[in-house]
Structure 1
């Protein structure tokens, strides 16, 4: 098994997006369009939660070393973010 392939030898860098990563993207885009600061902050928080869920899922069950590393790096970035 290589860094970019799963146990069956399939490439696992670019895959169909799952629900948490779609939620992160959609909520993040919506936060830019929100008119009130309170709504912007709520959308940003919800977006960050979706990204954290995605990262945990990748660390726990990512199909390749690359995906697990991407999840771990994302979690470390979210952890240090004020």
Structure 2
């Protein structure tokens, strides 16, 4: 149908957040607020894992080319950071 539209013609750039992206955001904020370095690193790692799950889901099941591209770019960015 188009790069930003799904099979039904609906725009799919912005959607309601799913659990992995909410987990990424909440754990990311928690990691910035953690006082202990060990906890900060553990929360940051959990946040990154949530983002990886979100990106993999978008890559595999994204509603549009845009969503699949965002998943691919995010996974690539995460891979380069490690």
TM-score interval (norm. to shorter): over 0.9
1:44 maps to what in 2? 44
Task: State the superposition RMSD in angstroms.
Answer: 0.4
Q: Which contiguous aligned blocks of 4+ residues in structure 1 show a shift greater than 2 angstroms?
A: none
Question: How high is the TM-score relative to the length of structure 2?
Answer: 0.99
Spell out, residue by residue over 1:19-64, the C-alpha distance to the aligned partner (whole angstroms, 9 max, x if none): 0000000000000000000000000000000000000000000000
Q: Report the number of matched residues.
A: 82
